[in-house]
């Protein structure tokens, strides 16, 4: 059984597999940097799917739509594969209702997960060129008002990193502990389906 995952979810999926003794699960991750290039996600997933012998192995794709505008779903439909529900990881971690409430309360919200809090300097500051061109910060973040950290673990060091990220961008800081949210639910359903799948 194979889970093709966003690299930003690797730590959480591995932890879930270990905690639930999912020895039959293989995880193959695509680069987390695709977060900043969602137009590349469908093709990257398609190439990975074409390498899998679907007669011998069930596959689940641990991506939400992630900014692909439905193009990822077209790839998955062609291969008969399911993915995580929702528009992005912020929605499946927080839950659709909570995320909708957060977005309605303040549309100008920048979100972090544990992964993004851990790699903020590389994936946001360096990848967007803010370290080399500070003037871009107003262009990218001028309409944001707050940063919400959707935490998977209770980790004081990650909270401090998230606070630092908010301060770096001049945003109000808020934290919500979400745990694994819909990620765990979706993977449990996939694993349970595998147990019922004929050999």
Q: For the chain, which residues make up each domain, given as ranges?
A: 2-89+180-195, 96-177
Q: Which tokens belong to 139? A: 């262009």
- Distance between CA atoms of residues 111 and 149, nearest Å: 6
Sheet holding 2-6, edge to edge: 26-30, 2-6, 59-62, 82-83
CATH code 3.40.50 for 2-89+180-195: yes
User: What are the per-10-residue average pLDDT scores of the chain (199 residues)?
Assistant: 95 94 93 92 97 88 96 96 94 95 97 97 94 94 97 97 97 97 93 54
pLDDT at position 195, please? 44
List the structure tokens of 194.
């595998």
**Token pair for 75:** 């790839």
Residue 189: C-alpha distances to residues 51, 79, 110, 143, 194 (Å) = 24, 19, 30, 38, 9
């Amino acid at each position: 059984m194979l889970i093709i995952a966003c690299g930003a979810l690797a730590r959480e999926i591995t932890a879930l597999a270990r905690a639930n003794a999912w020895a039959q699960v293989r995880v193959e991750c695509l680069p987390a940097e695709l977060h900043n290039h969602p137009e590349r996600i469908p093709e990257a997933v398609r190439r990975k799917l074409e390498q899998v012998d679907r007669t011998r192995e069930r596959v689940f794709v641990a991506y939400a739509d992630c900014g692909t505008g439905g193009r990822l779903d077209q790839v998955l439909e062609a291969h008969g594969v399911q993915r995580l529900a929702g528009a992005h990881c912020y929605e499946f971690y927080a839950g659709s209702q909570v995320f909708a409430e957060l977005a309605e309360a303040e549309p100008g919200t920048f979100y972090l997960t544990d992964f993004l809090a851990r790699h903020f300097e590389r994936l946001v500051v360096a990848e967007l060129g803010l370290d080399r061109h500070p003037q871009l910060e107003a262009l990218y973040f001028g309409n944001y008002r707050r940063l919400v950290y959707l935490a998977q673990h209770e980790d004081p060091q990650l909270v401090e990193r998230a606070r630092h990220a908010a301060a770096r961008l001049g945003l109000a800081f808020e934290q919500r502990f979400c745990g694994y949210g819909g990620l765990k639910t979706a993977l449990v359903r996939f694993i349970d389906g595998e147990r019922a799948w004929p050999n």
